[in-house]
A = this chain, B = another copy of it.
């Protein structure tokens, strides 16, 4: 897939338009119009609109998962002698992989953050299944390490904290452009994606490490 120039142009236009408006709100006619290719080319190269949505995600999640695994390997080597990796390095791993992966494919980094947000909110069951099949191993590996770094949390509390973290990250990064716009207008201060991630790491570390009083 995506070996032809036409398929590449479709993937690029679909990425931009899906991130801007969502999946249902973007028609194949708009995509092929922007990509300057024939309407039927989407079904020729990808088979269906659903398959196109899948392909858009695979294109940027594959380098992300590879980068994350590479960094977790490095972290494993570093801590071979003395115990487990800590929370903060684990979060750095995650966000740095995101940044690196997003820069290997074309386009604005925050586009992919928006797509990630959409994947969660628009109930695309087919998408969730296909993503879990491809990236499930990496996901479970990361979860195991993170939980080991948070021994004060029982499994239930850990699971909820994980979702608090996912929510904060996905929501903030997928609204990144609009938050930045508001801050520029109100406080005349510019924050780039890297700044935002550096504000997020200590805040989320603090959240995860807070003791859980019942």
Chain A positions near chain B (C-beta within 8 angstroms): 20-22, 24-25, 117-118, 120-123, 155-157, 159-161, 163-172, 174-175, 179, 182-183, 186-187, 189, 191, 196, 199-200, 202-207, 209-213
Q: A187 to B156, Cβ gap below 8 A?
A: yes
Contacts of A163 in B (CB 8 A): 168, 171-172, 175, 179
Q: A155 to B203, Cβ gap below 8 A?
A: no
Q: B212 to A207, Cβ gap below 8 A?
A: no
Query: A171 is contacted by which of B20, B159, B167 (Cβ under 8 Å)?
Result: B167
Contacts of A117 in B (CB 8 A): 121
Please, which residue of chain B has its CB at the minimum distance from the CB of A167? B171
Please, which residue of chain B has its CB at the minimum distance from the CB of A21? B123
Contacts of A123 in B (CB 8 A): 20-22, 25
Cα-based distance from A179 to B160 in the complex (angstroms): 8
Contacts of A155 in B (CB 8 A): 186-187
Please, which residue of chain B has its CB at the minimum distance from the CB of A196? B160
Q: A120 to B206, Cβ gap below 8 A?
A: no
Query: A156 is contacted by which of B21, B120, B189, B206 (Cβ under 8 Å)?
Result: B189
Contacts of A211 in B (CB 8 A): 202
Given A121-B122, A159-B179, A187-B155: A164 touches B25 (CB 8 Å cut-off):
no
A197 to chain B, nearest CB (A): 10
A195 to chain B, nearest CB (A): 9
Contacts of A196 in B (CB 8 A): 160
Q: B171 to A203, Cβ gap below 8 A?
A: no
Contacts of A24 in B (CB 8 A): 22, 24-25
Please, which residue of chain B has its CB at the minimum distance from the CB of A25? B24
Contacts of A22 in B (CB 8 A): 24, 121-123
Please, which residue of chain B has its CB at the minimum distance from the CB of A169? B167
Contacts of A186 in B (CB 8 A): 155
Contacts of A120 in B (CB 8 A): 121, 171, 175
A90 to chain B, nearest CB (A): 16
